[in-house]
Amino acid sequence: MVKETRTTVGIIGAGPAGLLLARLLFKAGIDSVVIESKDREYVEQRQRAGILEQGSVDALRECGAGERMDKEGIPHDGIELLFDKQRYPIHFPSLTGGRQVMIYAQTEVCKDLIALQLKEGGPLHFECEALAVEDPKTDNPKIRFRHKDGEEEILSCDYVVGCDGFWGVARKAIPESIATVYEKTYPFAWLGILADVPPSNDELIYARHPRGFSLLSMRSPTVSRYYIQVPAGEDIKEWSDERIWDEIEKRTETNDGWKVQRGPIFQKSVLPMRSYVHEPMQYGRVYLAGDAAHIVPPTGAKGLNLAFGDVVTLAKALKHKVDTGSDELLNNYSDRCIGRVWQAERFSYDMTNLLHTDPNASAFEDRLQVARLKRMVSNPHAETDLALAYTGFPL
Contacting residues for 112 by C-beta, under 8 A, at least 6 apart: 60, 65, 67, 68, 69
Q: How far is the CB of 368 from ligand DHB (least distance, A)?
A: 22
Q: What is the nearest approach in angstroms of ligand FAD to the Cβ of residue 392?
A: 12
C-alpha torsion angle, residues 389, 105, 58, 334 (rounded to 10) = 60
Given the residues 302, 321, 333, 356, the one annotated as active site: 302
- Position 271 contacts ligand FAD (CB under 6 A): yes
> Does the CA dihedral 248-253-256-259 come out positive or negative?
positive
Segment lying near ligand FAD (by CB under 6 A), choices 70-78, 163-171, 256-264, 336-344? 163-171
Site for ligand FAD (CB under 6 A): which residue of 25, 304, 317, 318?
A: 304
Which residues here bind ligand DHB, judged by CB under 6 A?
A: 49-51, 204, 215, 217, 225, 298-301
- Our CB check for ligand DHB shows the closer of 282 and 352 to be 352
The answer to whether residue 333 is catalytic is no
Which of ligand DHB, ligand FAD, none sits in contact with 217, Cβ below 5 to 8 A by type? ligand DHB
* Residue among 104, 159, 186, 206 flagged as catalytic: 206
- Site map 103..122 versus ligand FAD, x via CB under 6 A: ---x----------------
| Catalytic site includes residue 390 | yes
Would you count residue 212 as binding ligand FAD (CB under 6 A)?
no
Active-site hit among 136, 141, 297, 298: 298
Contacts of 291 (CB under 8 A, 6+ apart): 15, 17, 165, 166, 303, 307
Question: Known catalytic residue: 182?
Answer: no
DSSP-derived secondary structure for 281-297: SEETTEEE-GGGTEE--
299 binds, among ligand DHB, ligand FAD, none (CB under 5 to 8 A by kind): ligand DHB
Helices (H), the chain: 16-27, 40-45, 54-62, 67-72, 92-96, 106-120, 241-251, 303-324, 328-331, 333-355, 363-378, 380-391
Neighbours of 109 (CB within 10 A): 27
User: Measured between alpha carbons, how far is 275 from 342 in angstroms, rounded to an integer?
Assistant: 10
Please indicate whether residue 302 is annotated as part of the active site. Answer: yes
| Binding track, positions 216-255, relative to ligand FAD; x by CB under 6 A | ----------------------------------------
Count Cα neighbours of 153 within 13 Å in the Cβ-side half-sphere: 18
- Judged by CB under 6 A, the residue of 11, 49, 57, 90 near ligand FAD is 49
Q: Which is nearer to ligand FAD, 80 or 164 (CB)?
A: 164
SS3 content of the chain, % helix, strand, coil (to 5): 40, 30, 35
Sign of the four-CA dihedral 271, 272, 276, 282 = negative
Tell me the site size for ligand FAD, rule CB under 6 A: 32
Residue 381: CB atoms within 10 A of its CB come to 10
CA angle 246–249–253, rounded 5-degree value: 145
Catalytic positions, written as ranges: 76, 206, 298, 302, 390
- Chain residues in the site for ligand FAD (CB under 6 A): 12-18, 35-38, 43, 48-49, 106, 129-130, 163-165, 167-169, 271, 290-291, 298, 301-304, 307
